[in-house]
Amino acid sequence: MTRLWMVRHGPTHAKSMVGWSDIPADLSDTAALARLRRFLPSAPVVSSDLVRASATADALSPVTRLPHDPALREINFGAWELKTFTEVQETDPDTIRAYWDTPGDVAPPDGESWNAVRARVDGAVDRYLGAGHDDLIIVAHFGVILTQVQRALGLSAYQAFGHKIDNLSVTQLTSHGTHWTVAHINHNP
């Protein structure tokens, strides 16, 4: 059994699709970070290699810090990166509508489909589950956390997208081998 404590990085304040762009997080809310530290167990911490996640992980003052993992990156939005929904809607309305309404194999130009993101993240999480941790804190992104909510609850991708994942929130999932339980989704300590 491994409990995954999935933390979404601090806010970037970007109003566009931020995937693989290395935008820093605003970690000025020290009270929120302190509450988060108190809520989380003393456990190893791993993060995406993008600075908004790695800096958030470092701000948790972990006892054991595992190396950054690029497999825990956000969705690769390709040609849509740093564009707003409206901007993409103007040039590629059918693809963006299909990407969000029927997520699965539809991908942004030069980007990743939801199924590709899910496979990438599942592979990374499976590696960590195999390492024998009782608890593991994963500091990552909206899409990364939703892939594991989808997995744990047996949801469709569309249903998973219906969940809100706030910055600095905790989603706590437990893997019991092939069976999962969910304690928190989007918990704000």
Rounded to whole angstroms, how far apart are CA atoms 2 and 24?
30
Residues 43/137, Cβ–Cβ less than 8 Å:
yes
The answer as to whether 90 is a domain residue is no
Average pLDDT rounded to a whole number, residues 106-111: 96
The answer as to whether 86 is a domain residue is no
Asked whether the CA dihedral 40, 155, 162, 91 is positive or negative, the reply is positive
CATH assignment of the domain containing 132: 3.40.50.1240
Residues 137/163, Cβ–Cβ less than 8 Å:
no
The answer as to whether 52 is a domain residue is yes
Which of 67, 27, 19 minimizes the C-alpha distance to 46? 67
The answer as to whether 107 is a domain residue is no
- pLDDT value at position 60? 95
Using the predicted structure, report yes or no on whether residue 61 has a pLDDT greater than 90. Answer: no
**Residue burial 33-69, b: 16+ Cβ < 10 Å; e: rest:** beebeeebeebbbbbbebbbbbbbbebbebeebbebb
Q: Look at the chain and report how many structural domains it folds into.
A: 1
Residue 107: what residue type? A
- pLDDT value at position 76? 98
Percent of the chain predicted with pLDDT > 70: 100
The answer as to whether 165 is a domain residue is yes
The answer as to whether 99 is a domain residue is no
pLDDT, greater one: 62 or 182: 182
The answer as to whether 25 is a domain residue is yes
**pTM score of the predicted model:** 0.96
**In which domain, by residue range, is 171 found?**
2-77+113-187
